[in-house]
Every structure is written in C-alpha cells, then in structure tokens.
Amino acid sequence: MAGKVCLCYCRMTSDPPQFHSQYMHLVPVGRNRRPLRWGVAVVRAYRGFLRRLLRDNAFILVVAAAFVGAASGTIASLMILFAETAHTFLFRLSPGERLSSVTDLPLLPTALVVTAGGVLVGLTYLYQSRLRRVIVDPIEANALYGGRMSMRDSAFVALQSLLSSGFGLSLGIEGGFTQAAGAVGSKVGQLLNRRRHDVRMLVGAGAAGGIAGAFAAPFAGAAYGFELIVGSYTVATLSPVVAAAVAGHLAARLLVGHSYHIALTPNGYGNDGYVILALVLGVACGLLSVGLMRGVTWVERLFRQSGIRDAFRPCVGGLLVGTMAAFVPHLLGSGHDAMALLLHNGWPLQLLIVVLIGKIAASALSLGSGFRGGLFSTSLFLGATTGAIAGTLGVMTGYVAASDVAMMSLVGMASFGAAVVGAPMAMALLAIEVSGDLMVVEPVLLGVLAATLTVRQVFGYSFATWRFHLRGEAILGGEDVGWVRQTTARDLMRRDLDAVPLSMTLSDFRSRFPVGSTKYVAVMDEKSAYVGLADVAAIHSDLQDTTLDATLEFLKPALNYCNDWVVSSTPFDKLVHLFEQRETERLIIVDTEATKRAVGYVTEAFALRRYRQELEARQREIFGN
C-alpha cells in the first residue's frame, strides 16, 4: 500500500496532483501531504548513495563474504549430518558407528540399499533431461561466466549429492555443498550489484566457508577458495575469503557441536631419510590419481557404449558397488571414518592393497555411472591407504619405524588429495591442521610437490579440470577467461566499411570514392555476399581510361582479402589466433556464414591493443586499484 502512495507522489506533476482515480483514496490530504513528499525526496536522494555503497565499499564486501561463509558452513554441516543420519537408518548402524568403519555388512540388504539410491538418482536425471542445459559448477562459473550461477541448478546438484552420499556410494559429499555454497555467494554478489571480480570472489568465499566448516580447517578452506575457485591470491582478495573461511568454521562448530575432523596422531618422524620416501610416495600418489581419473572416464565411456539410458545407469552402478561393499565394507562412503580405523588399528598389508584397489574401482563406478559427489574425502582416504602401504613396506624392510606409519599416511593423504583436487597448498594446510603438528610440514610439502608435478607431467589435469576437458572446455582453473569469450568480433570491429556491388562500373567507383577518401571498399555479389576488398588507390592509378566502362567484375581476380573473413560471433580468443594462422593484418567481419554480408572489419593492431587494455583492467580489479 505504501508503495502505491510513493508511486503516486513520484508521478506528481502539479499542485494539486492529478492521480489515477483508483489511487485517490491513498492520497494524504491537508498537512500530511508535505512530510510524505519530503520522505520520497529523501529516498530518491539516498537511493543512489546506497547503491554505490553496496557496490563499491570494501567493508560491505567483507561483511557479505562472512555471511556467505557462515551460510556455507551451515549448509555443509547440515548435509553431512543428513548423510550420516541416513547411513544410520538405512544400514542399521549402532549409535556412534560410521558407515565406512563397519567391518561386516550383509550382502542382500547392502546391495538393495545402494541400488535404491541409484533408482532415486536415476529419477532425478529424468527431471534434468527436461532442463536441456549444462549445470555450471563454481570453477566454471568463475572462469567463464563472471561467477554467475543458478540457485535452482545448484540445489538440484546438492540433492543428487545428498542422495548419492546418503545411500552409501563411494563418494564424498563435498561436490554438493561446494556447489550450493558457491551459488549462495553468486546470488549475494548479484543482489548487491557487485562488480564481476567481486561476484567471483564471493563464489570463492562460499567454497572456502564450506570446506572450512566441513573439515574444521579455516586455513585449508581459504587456500581452497584461492587456488581452485578464485584462481589468484592478492592482498585485496585476502580479507573476504579468510573472513568467509573463519565464519564457515564457526557456524559449523556452533551448529553441530563437532566437526568433520580427521583424527590423526603421527609421532616420531624419524630422520632425513624421510625426504626420499616422501618424494617417492608423492610420485606414487600422483600415478594412482591419474589411474582413478582415467578409470572414471573409462567407466563413463563403457556405459555410453552399452546403450543404457542415463536414468538407469545409477541403478547398475549402485548394484555393482553394493555387491563389492558386501565383501569389503570400507568401500562405502567417503572413507573418513575408515581412515581413522586404519591409522589406529594398523591393517595388514594384504587388506590395505585390497581396500586401495577396491576403493578406486568403487569410486570410478560411482561417478562413471552417474552418481553425484566429490573425490575430496575419497582422495584423502586413498592417499592415507597408499601412505599406510608405503609405511608398512618400510617397516618390513627396516627403513621406517612402526610408529611412523601414521606420518606416511598423512603425507599420502595430502599428496593424493593435491593430485586429484588440484589444490596443493590447501591439501598441505589441511594435513597440518588436522594433525595439529608442525613437524609434518616438510614431508607433507615434499609429497604434495612430487604428486602435483607427476600429475602435471603425466596427465596435465586435476579431476575438476579433466571433466571440463572432456566437455570441450579448455579451463585449467578458476582464472577469469570468460571475458575473452564474451568479447566477440562484433564488439571489436570498426563499422566504417563501405560496400559496393560487383555490378558497379569503374567510372562510378572512381566518382564515388576519390583518392584519399578511404583505403578499401568491400565488394559484394548479387546476393550481397562478401567477395573481397577493392583498393581505391590502385583503381585510380593502375587502370586505363578505356576500361572505365567495365564493372568491378573485371577486377574480381585482383581483389584483396577475399578469404580473410570471420563471422561476427567469433570469440576474441579465436580472433587473435586467426591473424597469425592466415598471415593477414586485417579480417573482414560478416554477419553469418550463410549470408556473408560484410558489416565491418578489425585489424591485428587494434585487436592486440584491446587485448592489452582488457588485461590491464583485469589486473586493476584483482589488485584493487
């Protein structure tokens, strides 16, 4: 009702005002009219100030990031709590017992529960088939779309992750809550009308708050946001992301009273010989992570070739994973509690090898068959298992003390996680935070370094960027490259390009375009399609007067830049490379490939100058200038 009153006064043109008859009963009369008029004027005066404050103020950005981080930590905690509650109910666990630490599961009930999860996830794919669009995750959103994400799509991914994790699939739930957390950050940034770089930063803040809340590791959460989502670290971006990580950690602790913490108690740490062992373990974790990523792709390809519909693939995958888990129960879930059981009880070497191979196969089957989730926690468990195998072999050879197997598991955990996730510093900080011991810094950093270099040399991608590569997206991280693709040839071209038909005579051409008026003129055929460029100076100087009655058809073989054209929708990154490929300094811009009507042109020097200007603008955004 008040909005209608304001609307009436905003449209006031005279005194007394002329209002629409249906609003006459809303108009104050007498002395009450003037205060309302003043109130409307104040709102108008301060509306622009409030918009600028929300858009430009750095303190508002930090407050918004803290809110996003708290919401993200809450989302992560609730999703984890829901998944653990579902495990207790579906698998009939004892109080305090966790799924991945169970040592005995019946075959038929286990297979039925996991298959039921596949049925539910398959039903969600029936809904997704109606969307007819690719769901954008936080890395892709920051790299290509300026941090813009869909809340509805993200909620859909979170639901799929909840179903996959809640029914015990061999995946973590991180993919779901980082998707939801990133969408919250994106939405807050858009509501505040923040700039492109700020929206991207809030997406990274959401992911940082989710990881910090889930693992009680604010340093690791902040590093995850910088490395994987934002793609860069500067002093200007430090405050929002760190505030989000701390807020996410506090919100999770206040909500659930405990954290998704990995309890490791390494001790001993031996001598300098661990340098070589940490490097070897890092290389082994890197190679195994490549096998895991290749395995996911191979399973996906196998399902596609089988002809099974997308909605039925999770059912088949769930049946296979459930059957495997009946023989090796530690394959179910993310492996968080199995990791604690492994480190505290000391499994025999044969069991460690079986669990490692089975977990890789079960994770590849889970993701390859269509379940949603992440490999964050799974890669930590696989790394801890690999480190325990290396430590056990070291104990058997006398190279490692029995008390130091936990330390090797910690190194393996960080190394495998860095190789799969693609965030080496986040994983190193996570290992330090969950252990609470700074003595592990040196071996952990060496293992992470070796694993990261191994994956880069052998494979070239982390799991997240490998998924983009399979879809045809050349993205190596969250760095902002979207502006290059969003800028097209139409945005860069000069429009002062004259066009004439082939039927024009040379004498008319000379009259219309005297020497010095322009350098080139586009020549079009009878269908208005681009043919080539006519050199004005050459036509005036080289032709004899006897040929002036001829048409431009006479000069068609001598026209310039006949094949040097591109459509107006060509992205900027492809446009720059075309100059070198075609060995030309000028490209003609046509409307479409079918009609080929010339609408402008762009030169190499101008395109490179615009590229430098855009790079400088991005650097000013990043460094807060």
Mean pLDDT throughout 458-485? 73
Domain-ending residue, one of 230, 256, 282: 256
190 and 124 in a common domain: yes
Give the residue among 425, 391, 393 at the shortest CA–CA distance from 410: 391
Label residue 186 by pLDDT band (50, 70, 90).
Answer: very high
Q: Among the listed ranges 47-61, 303-317, 515-529, 576-590, which one has the minimum average pLDDT value?
A: 47-61
DSSP code, position 277: H
* Tokens standing for residue 146: 């300026």
Give the residue with greater pLDDT, 108 vs 398. Answer: 108
Cβ atoms 443, 278 nearer than 8 A? yes
Cα–Cα distance measured from residue 173 to residue 167, given in angstroms and rounded to the nearest whole number: 11
pLDDT digits 0-9 by tens, 36-67: 566 556 555 565 556 666 666 788 889 999 99
238 and 281 in a common domain: no
DSSP code, position 226: I
CATH number of the domain to which 417 belongs: 1.10.3080.10
The continuous run of DSSP H or E covering 251 comes out as helix 235-256
Q: Which domain holds residue 221?
A: 56-93+107-256
598 and 459 in a common domain: no
Residue 245 lies in a domain: yes
Domain-ending residue, one of 446, 472, 498: 472
511 and 449 in a common domain: no
Q: What percent of the chain has pLDDT over 90?
A: 26
Residue with the two structure tokens 């394959």: 331
The continuous run of DSSP H or E covering 77 comes out as helix 58-90
What DSSP letter does each residue of 106-172 carry, written as one string? -HHHHHHHHHHHHHHHHHHHHHHHHH-SPPPPHHHHHHHSTT---HHHHHHHHHHHHHHHHTT-SSB
Cβ atoms 480, 197 nearer than 8 A? yes
For 428-443, give one letter per residue: b (16+ CB within 10 A) or e.
bbbbbbbbebeebeeb
Q: What is the pLDDT of residue 22?
A: 42
Label residue 514 by pLDDT band (50, 70, 90).
Answer: confident
DSSP code, position 499: E
In whole numbers, what is the pLDDT of the chain averaged over residues?
A: 81
Give the residue with greater pLDDT, 230 vs 270. Answer: 230
pTM exceeds cut of 0.85: no
541 and 452 in a common domain: no
Label residue 35 by pLDDT band (50, 70, 90).
Answer: low
Give me Rg for the CA atoms of the chain.
Answer: 32
Cβ atoms 321, 365 nearer than 8 A? yes
- Is the confidence at residue 257, as pLDDT, over 90? no
Mean pLDDT throughout 87-101? 84
Domain-ending residue, one of 472, 507, 531: 472
Residue 346 lies in a domain: yes
505 and 449 in a common domain: no
Residue 479 lies in a domain: no
539 and 581 in a common domain: yes
411 and 352 in a common domain: yes
What DSSP letter does each residue of 551-586 carry, written as one string? BGGGGGGG-BSSS-EEETT-BHHHHHHHHHHHT-SE
Q: How many domains does the chain have?
A: 4
300 and 382 in a common domain: yes
301 and 234 in a common domain: no
Per-residue CA distances from 545 to 96, 510, 539, 555 (Å): 100, 11, 11, 14
Give the residue among 80, 85, 10 at the shortest CA–CA distance from 41: 10
Residue 315 lies in a domain: no
- Is the confidence at residue 9, as pLDDT, over 90? no
Give the residue among 337, 391, 325, 326 at the shortest CA–CA distance from 362: 325
560 and 540 in a common domain: yes
* Tokens standing for residue 223: 């590093």
pLDDT digits 0-9 by tens, 379-398: 999 999 999 999 888 888 87
Query: 3-state class of 304 per DSSP?
Result: helix
Give the residue among 82, 93, 103, 259 at the shortest CA–CA distance from 165: 82
CATH number of the domain to which 540 belongs: 3.10.580.10
Residue 265 lies in a domain: no
Give the residue with greater pLDDT, 484 vs 304. Answer: 304
Residue 318 lies in a domain: no
- Is the confidence at residue 27, as pLDDT, over 60? no
Residue with the two structure tokens 């996906």: 300
Cα–Cα distance measured from residue 409 to residue 399, given in angstroms and rounded to the nearest whole number: 15
496 and 612 in a common domain: yes
Q: What is the pLDDT of residue 132?
A: 58
Cα–Cα distance measured from residue 280 to residue 408, given in angstroms and rounded to the nearest whole number: 11
Residue 327 lies in a domain: no
Cβ atoms 284, 457 nearer than 8 A? no
Judging by DSSP bridges, how do beta strands 586-590 and 565-567 pair with one another?
parallel
Mean pLDDT throughout 147-166? 90
Residue 477 lies in a domain: no
Cα–Cα distance measured from residue 523 to residue 598, given in angstroms and rounded to the nearest whole number: 9
Per-residue CA distances from 173 to 78, 140, 158, 353 (Å): 11, 19, 9, 25
183 burial (CB, 10 Å; 0-12 / 13-18 / 19+) is buried
The CA angle 229-234-235, to the nearest 5 degrees, is 130
Q: What is the pLDDT of residue 282?
A: 93
Q: What is the pLDDT of residue 45?
A: 57
- CA 251, 256, 260, 263 dihedral sign is positive
